[in-house]
Structure 1
Amino acid sequence: MKLFVALLAVGLPALAAAHSWIVCTDYLENNGWYWDAAKCRAWPRNAKRYDLRDRVFGTSGGFLHRLDDHPEIKPLCRDPRDDATSYELPMAAYYLGQTVVLTHPINNHANDATCNIRSRPDTENLMFVVDGDEDPCCIDSDKLIQIFDMGVSPYGPDKYSDEELSTFPKVGYQNAPKFCEDPEDAMGTYNFTIPMDLKPGRHTFVWKWIRVPSVMPFTTCWEADVFATKAERDAQYQATGRTTEDMWDFYQVNNIVDGVIVDPVVDPIISG
């Protein structure tokens, strides 16, 4: 019995880490290596209440939302919608056609042959927009409109080579280039595109991740004002004291050799 208890205690940290959530809803760096709160322009519902800006990146402080037991009836969002009180940290503003970068903690659920981890699965990574101004009842609601499939990360040594499992960026949940440095708290990034046919206005967005089919979905909800043009979106960010800088890609602005930054890429137009 003592041996069983000891083994159970050893296994608990891994079980406790079986979760994730979206931290930033408009991050400036795609495929980045390390979390930097200064690069986050917008946050999910009640990010201030849960201290998402200042908290250690991989800790939730209760922000986690998993649709346990009956996902067809459990509320879709961790907190009900209340735009007037939920955005002490600012709400996102997007424009049609924008590539939006999201960040999440990896919480041990990635593969990288560099640290001898190859078989952790990834099943589903979807973005939805809500039809209407009220939260849907549940994950099966017909008010959820899928707008983007962010793909599934490669896993399994029988299907993928060590090189493929250790090459970044990746699609899906496991896009965390520095996973081996900090398997629990490393940053992962997604990106998705705002559909050109989405009606401008304020919308609720929902992220859904399924690690394995036997584990219920994880979700995060947030609101964003969607504008027809970047100029209109920029005016909104300027009015609220935020940068209008375009998102950049970490792998396009750095020369990387064997996982090490050799030097930044020099833009001949800027340097000339």
Structure 2
Amino acid sequence: MKLFVALLAVGLPALAAAHSWIVCTDYLENNGWYWDVAKCRGWPRAATTFNLRHGIFGATNTYTHRLDNHPEERGLCKKSRDDDRWYEADTPMAAYYQGQKVVLTHPANNHVSESNCRYRSQIDWENLMFVVDGNEDPCCINSTKLIQIMDMGVSPYGRYLSDEVLSTYPKPGFQNVPKFCEDPEDAMGTYNFTIPTDLKPGRHTFVWKWIRDPAVSPFTTCWEADVFATKAERDAFYVATGRSTEDMWDFYQIHNIVDGMIMDPVDPSVNEVITG
């Protein structure tokens, strides 16, 4: 069984209003504030073709892809699977291990309910991760080849919610974009999902599906990744391909945040002297 497709992006190509897509398929920082290409170890299909590495984070270009109201009439993925063609030296395929928490990045593209700077009622409806059963792309969003492996939740929205709720991060769901107000179009958001411990080692296709609003067709992104049974095996592969073997860290666990600002870390030895 081949599993691992993450549905990548979508927007209306005929219009300038792209909505979102996955930019990085193995990012080193969960809940981060700013995009840093050096923290990305894996990329979706055709990332070089769509200039995801060297372009502006969140730039739409020709990459945007939205399924219409009849997704069976259009391929689920922006590009059909061709591993040798779509993954290149500077945009390599990700590698995961069973039980790993994987961080994904995506641009906000204005779809965040943020009381400090924007509308309060940007809907976040559904955020799912799938792996594909088999070696071929699924026909459509309702394909039985899509095996759901995680529900990544939805973000709070609504005119009656408090300012505190709408401006507190991290959030579940799509709207986890802490620096949205600085750049509503291109600010970075992050998701995370866990590789099932029973996912068979090997190469799989993953698919990300986001429904912004139930009145709008799904947005998707697809990618491949090699899955290993253990972190040691995955690390050996990353070393062989010149990539970091660091574990993912969480932005809010390594920084002291006060009123939305990063404060200098507290030195415990100083505290001991003062309180001793």
Superposed counterparts of 1:200-239, under 5 Å: 200-239=201-240
CA change 1:82–1:169 in 2 (3 A) is: same
Higher relative contact order (CA 8 A, sep 6+): 2
Q: Deviations over 1:100-135 (max 9, x none)?
A: 000000000001111142111000100000000000
Q: Using the alignment, how far apart are the partners of 1:47 and 1:244 within structure 2?
A: 22
Partner of 2:236, secondary structure, is helix
Which of residues 123, 142, 145 in structure 2 aligns to 1:143? 145
- Aligned letter for 2:163? D
Give the corresponding residue for 2:33.
Answer: 33
Post-superposition offset of 1:73: 3.5
**Contact 1:76 / 1:135 at 8 angstroms: preserved in 2?**
yes
Give the corresponding residue for 1:165.
Answer: 166
CA change 1:194–1:263 in 2 (3 A) is: same
Gaps in structure 1 of 5+ consecutive residues: 1-14
Q: Using the alignment, how far apart are the partners of 2:118 and 2:62 within structure 1?
A: 31
Q: Using the alignment, how far apart are the partners of 2:190 and 2:56 within structure 1?
A: 17
Q: Using the alignment, how far apart are the partners of 1:179 and 1:116 within structure 2?
A: 9
Give the corresponding residue for 1:198.
Answer: 199
Superposed counterparts of 1:6-25, under 5 Å: 16-25=16-25
**Contact 2:18 / 2:64 at 8 angstroms: preserved in 1?**
no
Compute the TM-score of the two structures, normalised by the length of structure 2. 0.89
Give the corresponding residue for 2:68.
Answer: 68
Give the corresponding residue for 1:4.
Answer: none
Q: Using the alignment, how far apart are the partners of 1:172 and 1:208 within structure 2?
A: 12
CA change 1:206–1:266 in 2 (3 A) is: farther
Give the corresponding residue for 1:175.
Answer: 176
**Contact 2:76 / 2:139 at 8 angstroms: preserved in 1?**
yes
Aligned length: 254
Q: Using the alignment, how far apart are the partners of 1:49 and 1:134 within structure 2?
A: 21
Post-superposition offset of 1:21: 0.3
- Aligned letter for 1:218? F
CA change 1:18–1:212 in 2 (3 A) is: farther
**Contact 1:122 / 1:211 at 8 angstroms: preserved in 2?**
yes
Q: Deviations over 1:203-243 (max 9, x none)?
A: 00000001001111111000000001000000110010000
Post-superposition offset of 1:197: 1.1
Q: Using the alignment, how far apart are the partners of 1:45 and 1:76 within structure 2?
A: 13
**Contact 2:18 / 2:60 at 8 angstroms: preserved in 1?**
no
Superposed counterparts of 1:25-174, under 5 Å: 25-88=25-88, 89-158=91-160, 160-174=161-175
Post-superposition offset of 1:252: 0.4
Give the corresponding residue for 1:7.
Answer: none
Q: Using the alignment, how far apart are the partners of 2:93 and 2:217 within structure 1?
A: 27
Gaps in structure 2 of 5+ consecutive residues: 1-14, 270-276
Q: Deviations over 1:154-203 (max 9, x none)?
A: 00022x21101100000000000000111011000000000111111100
Partner of 2:83, secondary structure, is coil
Q: Using the alignment, how far apart are the partners of 2:268 and 2:135 within structure 1?
A: 44
Worse overlay, 175-184 or 72-81: 72-81
**Contact 1:17 / 1:184 at 8 angstroms: preserved in 2?**
no
Give the corresponding residue for 2:272.
Answer: none
CA change 1:162–1:70 in 2 (3 A) is: same
**Contact 1:17 / 1:108 at 8 angstroms: preserved in 2?**
no
Compute the TM-score of the two structures, normalised by the length of structure 1. 0.90
Post-superposition offset of 1:17: 3.1
Give the RMSD, CA atoms, in angstroms.
1.6
Give the corresponding residue for 2:3.
Answer: none
Post-superposition offset of 1:18: 4.6
